[in-house]
Chains A and B, each alone.
Chain A
Amino acid sequence: MKRTLMDRVLDWLRPRLPVDAAIEFAEHKSVPAYKGSVWYYFGGVSLFLFIVQVTTGILLIMYYQPGLQTAYESVRFTVVHVRFGWLVRSIHTWSANLMIFAVFVHMFSVFFTRAFRRPRELTWFSGLVLLALCLGFGFSGYLLPWNTLAFFATKVGTAIVATTPFIGKGVMEILRGGKDVGAETLTRFFGLHVAIMPALFTVILTVHLTLVQIQGMHEPHEWASAPESEKRRMPFFPNFILRDLLLWLIVLNVLAILAVMFPWEIGHKADPSAAAPLGIKPEWYFLFMYQALKFFPGKILGLDGDAVGVVLFAIGGLLWALVPIWDVRLPEGARNRVVTYVGLVVVLAIIVLTGIGLS
């Protein structure tokens, strides 16, 4: 048989890298095929959207200039004068929103299928750190165009941080780079958004993906007691990866349609001396927390209402993160429903609060 270029490349690599072990690994990698298989795609979609973010983000930096006199102007220049600048910015914003959505779906699917259980606790924890970083990306990136909405959303967001007992004020001043949101905040958020968080994200994403490779895909817990003949699996290469790539292509097309049909406005330049306009709201993925805080009265048992709310949210988040520890395995056959109920309550609360916040 004729030796292809691929064969030659592999022959060259063979003495240098464990090529055969890698091929062997890839050939045996499989994905469970069952009614819940659709959820396996959301991690991949999140990864794809992250790649889109990195690519469009690098393009945006080419023309972006942080600074009170330049940030808004440079974004406007990119959108108005640079060829396809409007498209790049619009895709970056849409992709950011879709990525947060995909990451949330990914997290809840892992939660409800209990894929966080031993031995995958570390994958769950690293995933939550990635989610936190995604929210950080959203929060810091929102400010960079320096428009009115972003300016006030950042003021409110950092002021909420300040209500945290003991450390809040200090953290807020570190975030703002001073007592108020200004030029220092913009440069700090820019540094966070394009350097510090991408570096952290890359490291933790590598850990996350490596753990997935080491542990293999999580199998539905019904499989534990099922006979081997009833378990259907799909080879990762090429069956699953081709479906993955097709989905990525569809997501990219959806992104292009959204970006072209519904381009993101750049708004009005922030004026720190003007009064806040009506309708100041955080991005939709912060809305449920923002809305919940509105329900807390100013004082609760003599304590600051917002502070109580922030602390409750922190405790809730911590409990959510620690689910691999408090979720107890029941004897085979009996399903522990507590996790499902907790998850449903959280999903419902997020949907309802977001709905109230949007209306």
Chain B
Amino acid sequence: MVEEKPDHPSRRSFLNTLLGISVLGWMGSVLFPIVEYFKIPPRKDDEPTSVVAASLKTLKPNQGVIFKFGSTPGILIMSPDGQLRAFSAVCTHLDCTVKYRPDLQKIHCACHGGMYDLNGQNISGPPPRPLTPYKVVQRGDDVIVSKA
């Protein structure tokens, strides 16, 4: 048996390092596809840029309506003075869907009592941010909402 110099790495430790590196490489090649697999690919039909939210024939002042904007809900409101406003209906607190309360003339979230004014500003309760505003356009009787 050849005597090893103590300051030189032995053949065994060299092989162990090599083995360790290949195990790491192997683990990487198994884990990489798994991590990538969890990245949810975008679904094209999920994200329309604009939708017809409501018809002026049915929407009256001091009234709100929830509409589907792709996979998430939006809210369209006609204020008591007849102005149209649209926001994302997803509460900025914990993702519940908000609704318009004609009695309060506010947007209210029933889950934790969050309140937004008619400009979508968070005015009381837990919501940390205003609701995301959308652009509103009238075309004939149709109210068209698009992402700003």
Q: Which residues of A pack against B, CB within 8 Å? A: 59, 62, 77, 81-85, 87-88, 249
In this complex, the interface size class of chain B, counting residues with CB under 8 Å from chain A, is: 10 to 19
Q: Which B residues lie within 8 Å of A85 (CB)?
A: 37
* A83-B39 in contact (CB<8A): yes
* A84-B36 in contact (CB<8A): yes
Q: Which residues of B pack against A, CB within 8 Å? A: 26, 33-34, 36-41, 43
Q: Which B residues lie within 8 Å of A59 (CB)?
A: 34, 37
Pick from B26, B33, B39, B43: contact of A88, CB below 8 A: B33
Residue of B nearest to A252 (CB): B30
- The 5 tightest CB contacts between A and B, nearest first, are A84-B33, A83-B36, A81-B41, A84-B37, A84-B36
**A77–B37 CA distance with the chains assembled, in angstroms:** 12
**A62–B34 CA distance with the chains assembled, in angstroms:** 12
* B33-A82 in contact (CB<8A): no
Residue of A nearest to B23 (CB): A249
* B37-A88 in contact (CB<8A): yes
Residue of A nearest to B30 (CB): A252
Q: Which B residues lie within 8 Å of A249 (CB)?
A: 26
Would you list 24 pairs from A and B whose C-beta atoms are within 8 A, ordered by A residue? A59-B34, A59-B37, A62-B37, A62-B38, A77-B43, A81-B41, A81-B43, A82-B37, A82-B40, A82-B41, A83-B33, A83-B36, A83-B37, A83-B39, A83-B41, A84-B33, A84-B34, A84-B36, A84-B37, A85-B37, A87-B33, A88-B33, A88-B37, A249-B26
Q: Which A residues lie within 8 Å of B26 (CB)?
A: 249
Q: Which A residues lie within 8 Å of B43 (CB)?
A: 77, 81
Q: 17 more A-B contacts (CB under 8 A) besides A62-B38, A82-B37, A85-B37?
A: A59-B34, A59-B37, A62-B37, A77-B43, A81-B41, A81-B43, A82-B40, A82-B41, A83-B33, A83-B36, A83-B39, A83-B41, A84-B34, A84-B36, A84-B37, A87-B33, A249-B26
**A84–B26 CA distance with the chains assembled, in angstroms:** 17
Q: Which B residues lie within 8 Å of A77 (CB)?
A: 43
**A83–B41 CA distance with the chains assembled, in angstroms:** 8
Q: Which A residues lie within 8 Å of B33 (CB)?
A: 83-84, 87-88
